[in-house]
Amino acid sequence: MKVEQLLNDLCKFLKMLPHPILLECIDNITFINRNERRKYERIKNLDNKIDALVQDVRFRVKLIENIHQNYNQNIQFSGDVLYEDLLASINSENCMSVIVYILYLCCDGDFDKQHFSKFIESEPFQKTIKKAWDTPTILEINSATNIIENTSFKEKKTMFWYLGNIELRSTYYNFKPRYIYEELEGVISEIPNDVLKEDFPEHGSINLGYQHLGDQAHEFLKSLNIDKIHDISDTTPITSVFAIHIENSDIENNDNDKIRKKIDLQKIYENGILLSDIIKPISDFKMYKIVTPQENIVADSFAGIIFVNEDHYYPEELVLLEWGENRLFGPYKLQERSIDGEKYIRPDSGSNQYLLEYYSEEDYESFFFEKIPYLHDSVFTDIAFLKKSPKCFDAIPLEILLSKLTESVDFNLIESNPDEFVRLYTTSPFLGQLPSEIRKQRIERVEEIFKSTAHYDDKKRDVLESLFDNLGDNVFSILGDKIKNSSEFKKLQEQATILQETNNKLKNDNDSLTEENRRLLQENTQLEENANHNGTFIDSEKIEELEQEIAELSEKVAIIDDYDSLSKDYDELRKKYQQETDLYDSKVIEVNEKKNELNELQAKFKSFITNELNGSDVTKTLRTAFDPYISNAMIEAAGKYQYDSENAYYKEISEKLNKLDTPKYEKEDLINRLVKHVQLSRKYTKNEILNIYICLSQNFLTIFSGEPGTGKTSICNILADSLGLNNFGTEKNISMNRYIPVSVERGWSSKRDLIGYFNPLTKKYDRNNSKIYDGLMLLNEERSNSRFPYVILLDEANLSPIEYYWADFMRAADRTGEKNYVNIGLNEDIYIPQTLRFLATINNDQTTERLSPRLVDRAWIIKLPKTSVLESATYIDNLNNDTILWNDIENAFIVSESKEMSLKNLAEQIYKLFDEHNLSVSPRVQQSIKRYVCVAQEIMEDEIGVSNKKEKALDFAIVQKLLPKINGYYKDYERLFTSLKQICDENNLKMTKEALIFMEDFQRQNMGYCQYLV
């Protein structure tokens, strides 16, 4: 008999077995991969599935082994029984069991070669498959099974959830169910095609109807992510999978030859049923689509972005990532890269102490949706139904594990700084809410590393000491037995015992020698004292008398020498005094003579000019006017007169402002007032507004960055208006307002472009911007009595290099004391009080200059969020606001009751990371961050579910003071980004994390170049 005929006869026998047993045995076959499993699951007919499985020797053997295990549980055979005896024992009653057992023996290679062919051809086997035995029960069982199966589907149709896909063809929404899900039992059953076509003729689909465009049903369907079908050759896999509950009473006939049934969703809605209660995403039932990574990934990959192959799935839906031995990780939110539509997930393992949830094959049930495009191969959508709780997978990278070892958790922080203690405790890879098994595995990993890296002895010791300090008894409970039982420990114990005995002996010998030495020394000292006692006693009185006499004589000699020296000095000084007196008298006489000559010349000069100007000789008059000496004198006099007159005006205005009656505000009242004012115009959070005021108050220069249209210039105007800086008006052609917007132009290169310069010809100051000049002169007059803030806005500041035209003020920004001066070209420096602040707006494109590192180090850079304008500018201008005193601003936003940052250790950890990547964090920057955070952590508010106010304060500081330093190729900063994102996850630094992700996306689109200011 040919092999083909042998296998056909084998299939005939297998098909005679009870169908429930066959189905269970087939389900228990382990396939190598999903494609192989899917190949057999697509075969719906049981007989055809058996034929296919038997053709592959791997699955044939596995199927027979499963049948033997399930079918012959109550039948025992002797292990040494011969084949001939087994064959002879077959009869009408045991034929099925014995044949199954012999087939099971044929799964062994040697037995198969000897007996398989002749067994299939044997009379008992052929008699069985030809039903020559009296075995009616076999057919009865299978018939009953078929009846039960068909009946169960009829009953399930209206009792449970249909799982299927919704398609949009033109304007018609059609639903094609593939499975039935029994929610209470948690069971998924595939619906046979014949049942589908019978219930929903002609092709097993049902129309989801609405009454007219725009009604509630139509709008609901539009809100779902639905696959649009354009032609039958579309190879896009099914993505819009839903669970729908359909009652028999809702099914109506549809006026369509191909889809003859429908449900009227609008009618259901009008009957008071929410459509979202009967049409649900499958994720509501813990069913998720399965995605696969584009590249080979490792555990470290879960700390960042993982791109997936399934680029047609909808973003924002939850998916499971397949990795490893049929393991599913997640679920994770599927996201889309805007530049090219690539789909990816971001597991962010660092946010959960590098613990990943996963499901092994026994924890889930997989099923699929098949789409068969015209003239193309089938495409599949794989889905997993999670049935059990997830397991934990440890994905902590080795470098993170080792770096965390040396971070000690000081338990004294519980009282002194509980927030810092909680942060360190919860982010430790050995403490916090870790499963004990994971903790044990991590310590074993470290132990293994230390064993295999002998050249790191010092590092090992530091790490182990830190680990013992962190874990205390936990370490000894886990490692103690291993250490004590190791051969190295026993050897060290023996050496320690020998050393201890030697040390004790040496100590005893040393004590004996020390005592003997002390005794001999005492005897020697006693002998010396006895030998010298008499002579010393006799001569001591005479020696004391002679020494006293010598001292008295020496004192008298010194007094005589001092007197002679002082007498000589006195004579010399007296002589010099007389000479200076004579010189002074002569100079006084000379000065008086020169003064008289000058007065005479001035009188003659005035008389001459008057006579010349009043004379009738025009030519002579013009000659006089254009005489170089005379004209220069006239110009200098005019310039000095104007300068003195203006200074008098500035002084008058200063005195007036000093006497201005202005209300005072308490700290909380001022904060609430300013926040409310800004929120009338911008939809900013309280923390975002307070951040702006703190930066403005504490820093000489604050820069606003953002996309065009984000309101950079208008927010500066709003700030000025909220502080009442435009309430002063103009007096004697001098603006008294304390807010000056300046539009920077391209090509500015020095302070003369910003302010002006002193003209040596006219002896006057030529002003490029008279308001800035007036403001600086007024501030110079106010000096330490300056009561109100003064703000200058540099709009579009980086159209020209800021450090060129703002150089003098940049030097002033370096000085932290109260006495700051700048020189604008006058004879005297201009005093800069603490009330002067600069704001700047910048764009980041090809038309602007890049900010230099020197400027970034001195400024705070605020990126404005996109937001809508709530009120018109006209309304803002008409608001009546009191002018805010600088002292009140200082009390609210500069002075802090805190002496230290709450998260000081965390900040220092971040500084160290930046320093390691050549992004130096200078003491100036650290002090600026400390000053900011100490104030912000007091006045900001907790953001529920995001971060507390202490974390928010540090988050703002990092984003605005440290991240602007990043400007270069991503490969140079990749480790910095990885470590920073881990810190962000552990400490709720949401803004920093989002900024890092944005820069990563930016570098992918710009050939690996990344920067914060874009």
DSSP string, 258-306: SB-EEEEHHHHHHTT--HHHHEEEGGGGTEEEEE-BSS---GGGGGS-E
Residues paired with 701 in a beta bridge: 838
For residues 922 and 862, give the distance between their C-alpha atoms in angstroms, rounded to a whole number.
20
Out of 132-141, 355-364, 677-686, least confident range: 132-141
For residues 22 and 13, give the distance between their C-alpha atoms in angstroms, rounded to a whole number.
12
Report pLDDT digits (tens) over 96-118.
Answer: 888 888 888 887 777 667 788 88
Full domain range(s) for residue 261: 157-283
Q: What is the pLDDT of residue 618?
A: 53
Task: For residues 828 and 729, state if they share a domain.
Answer: yes
pLDDT-derived band at 876 (thresholds 50, 70, 90) equals very low
Domain finish residue from 346, 370, 394: 394
Which residue, chain included where needed, has tokens 């295990």?
69
Contact 965, 859 (CB under 8 A): no
pLDDT-derived band at 153 (thresholds 50, 70, 90) equals very low
Degrees to nearest 5, angle at CA 439 with 433 and 445: 150
Q: What's the distance, CA 793 to chain centroid? A: 32
For residues 308 and 321, give the distance between their C-alpha atoms in angstroms, rounded to a whole number.
9
Q: What's the distance, CA 758 to chain centroid? A: 51
827: domain CATH number is 3.40.50.300
For residues 143 and 134, give the distance between their C-alpha atoms in angstroms, rounded to a whole number.
17
Q: Is the dihedral of CA 816, 817, 818, 822 positive or negative?
A: negative
Of residues 527 and 955, the one with the higher pLDDT is 955
pLDDT at 139 over 50: no
pLDDT-derived band at 163 (thresholds 50, 70, 90) equals very high
Percent of the chain with pLDDT over 70: 75
Q: What is the pLDDT of residue 731?
A: 80
Task: For residues 671 and 797, state if they share a domain.
Answer: yes
Q: What is the pLDDT of residue 395?
A: 83
Which residue, chain included where needed, has tokens 């075995």?
135
Q: What is the pLDDT of residue 455?
A: 45
**How many alpha carbons fall within 13 Å on the CB side of residue 570?**
6
Q: How many domains does the chain have?
A: 6
Is residue 504 included in any domain, yes or no? no
pLDDT-derived band at 228 (thresholds 50, 70, 90) equals confident
Both tokens of 88, joined, read 């002879």
Mean pLDDT of the 534-544 span: 56
pLDDT at 869 over 80: no
pLDDT at 479 over 50: no
For residues 161 and 280, give the distance between their C-alpha atoms in angstroms, rounded to a whole number.
10
Report pLDDT digits (tens) over 232-242.
Answer: 777 888 999 99
Contact 377, 416 (CB under 8 A): no
Domain finish residue from 868, 895, 922: 895
For residues 157 and 167, give the distance between their C-alpha atoms in angstroms, rounded to a whole number.
21
Of residues 625 and 152, the one with the higher pLDDT is 625
Average pLDDT of the chain to the nearest whole number: 80
Report pLDDT digits (tens) over 557-583.
Answer: 777 666 667 777 777 777 877 787 878
For residues 552 and 535, give the distance between their C-alpha atoms in angstroms, rounded to a whole number.
27
**Segment 934-938 long-range contacts (CB within 8 Å, at least 24 positions apart):** 934/896, 934/898, 934/899, 934/900, 934/901, 935/694, 935/698, 935/893, 935/894, 935/895, 935/896, 935/898, 936/690, 936/691, 936/694, 937/898, 937/901, 937/902, 938/896, 938/897, 938/898
Mean pLDDT of the 619-623 span: 55
Q: What is the pLDDT of residue 329?
A: 94
Mean pLDDT of the 45-71 span: 84
Contact 337, 388 (CB under 8 A): no
Is residue 498 included in any domain, yes or no? no
Closest by CA position to 21, among listed 180, 142, 153: 142
Contact 702, 851 (CB under 8 A): no
Task: Please state the φ and ψ torsions of residue 298, each to the nearest 5 degrees.
Answer: -125, 180
For residues 74 and 295, give the distance between their C-alpha atoms in angstroms, rounded to a whole number.
50
Is residue 196 included in any domain, yes or no? yes
Mean pLDDT of the 258-263 span: 90
Q: Which residues of 399-429 are buried (b: 16+ CB within 10 A; e: fewer)?
A: ebbbebbeeebeeebeeebeebbebbbebbb
Amino acid present at 11: C
Closest by CA position to 207, among listed 139, 138, 153, 261: 261
Percent of the chain with pLDDT over 90: 29
Task: For residues 886 and 980, state if they share a domain.
Answer: no
| Beta strands 830-832; 820-822: pairing state | antiparallel
Closest by CA position to 290, among listed 329, 316, 325, 324: 329
Q: What is the pLDDT of residue 538?
A: 44
For residues 757 and 744, give the distance between their C-alpha atoms in angstroms, rounded to a whole number.
17
Q: What's the distance, CA 308 to chain centroid? A: 22
Is residue 700 included in any domain, yes or no? yes
Is residue 487 included in any domain, yes or no? no
304 to 343, 344, 477, 608, 968: CA distances (angstroms): 14, 10, 35, 90, 20
pLDDT-derived band at 641 (thresholds 50, 70, 90) equals low
pLDDT at 301 over 50: yes
Task: For residues 756 and 851, state if they share a domain.
Answer: yes
Burial class (CB in 10 A: 0-12, 13-18, 19+), 685: middle
Task: For residues 125 and 57, state if they share a domain.
Answer: yes
Closest by CA position to 702, among listed 793, 815, 814: 793
Contact 119, 87 (CB under 8 A): yes
pLDDT at 478 over 50: no
User: What's the start-to-end Cα distance of the chain, in Å?
Assistant: 78
* Residues belonging to the chain: 1014
Domain finish residue from 259, 283, 307: 283
Report pLDDT digits (tens) over 591-607.
Answer: 788 777 777 776 766 67
pLDDT at 971 over 80: yes
Closest by CA position to 261, among listed 194, 209, 191: 209
pLDDT at 664 over 50: yes
Closest by CA position to 796, among listed 855, 744, 720, 844: 744
868 to 351, 719, 865: CA distances (angstroms): 32, 17, 10
Q: What is the pLDDT of residue 643?
A: 67
Is residue 901 included in any domain, yes or no? no
Strands (DSSP E) found in 662-731:
701-705, 730-731
Task: For residues 45 and 177, state if they share a domain.
Answer: no
Out of 57-61, 64-68, 104-108, 623-627, least confident range: 623-627
Report pLDDT digits (tens) over 671-729.
Answer: 999 999 999 988 899 999 999 999 999 999 999 998 888 889 999 999 999 999 998 88
Contact 749, 805 (CB under 8 A): yes
Report pLDDT digits (tens) over 885-911.
Answer: 999 999 999 988 777 888 888 999 999
Dihedral angle over CA of 407, 408, 414, 417, nearest 10: -50
Task: For residues 24 and 129, state if they share a domain.
Answer: yes
Mean pLDDT of the 318-344 span: 88
pLDDT-derived band at 303 (thresholds 50, 70, 90) equals confident
Task: For residues 965 and 934, state if they share a domain.
Answer: yes
Is residue 552 included in any domain, yes or no? no
**How many alpha carbons fall within 13 Å on the CB side of residue 809?**
26
Is residue 785 included in any domain, yes or no? yes
pLDDT at 158 over 70: no
Mean pLDDT of the 200-217 span: 88
Report pLDDT digits (tens) over 362-382.
Answer: 899 999 998 887 767 888 899
pLDDT at 11 over 70: yes
Report pLDDT digits (tens) over 977-1005.
Answer: 999 998 998 888 999 999 999 999 999 88
Closest by CA position to 330, among listed 294, 283, 373: 283
For residues 778 and 106, give the distance between their C-alpha atoms in angstroms, rounded to a whole number.
107
pLDDT at 423 over 50: yes
Task: For residues 239 and 387, state if they share a domain.
Answer: no
For residues 300 and 291, give the distance between their C-alpha atoms in angstroms, rounded to a whole number.
18
Task: For residues 132 and 164, state if they share a domain.
Answer: no
Out of 176-185, 607-616, 861-870, least confident range: 607-616
Both tokens of 35, joined, read 């494609």
Of residues 448 and 871, the one with the higher pLDDT is 448
For residues 861 and 925, give the distance between their C-alpha atoms in angstroms, rounded to a whole number.
13
Q: How many CB atoms lie within 10 A of CB 157?
A: 18
Strands (DSSP E) found in 363-419:
364-371, 379-386, 391-394
Q: Is the dihedral of CA 254, 256, 260, 263 positive or negative?
A: negative
Which residue, chain included where needed, has tokens 């820093």?
699
Closest by CA position to 677, among listed 949, 936, 882: 882
Both tokens of 63, joined, read 């199927």
For residues 463 and 442, give the distance between their C-alpha atoms in angstroms, rounded to a whole number.
14
Among 439-453, 486-500, 598-612, 835-849, the range of highest mean pLDDT:
835-849
Burial class (CB in 10 A: 0-12, 13-18, 19+), 338: exposed
Q: What is the pLDDT of residue 244?
A: 94
Task: For residues 982 and 884, state if they share a domain.
Answer: no
Task: For residues 94 and 204, state if they share a domain.
Answer: no
Strands (DSSP E) found in 303-363:
306-307, 318-322, 328-333, 335-336, 343-345, 355-359
Contact 762, 635 (CB under 8 A): yes
Contact 951, 988 (CB under 8 A): yes
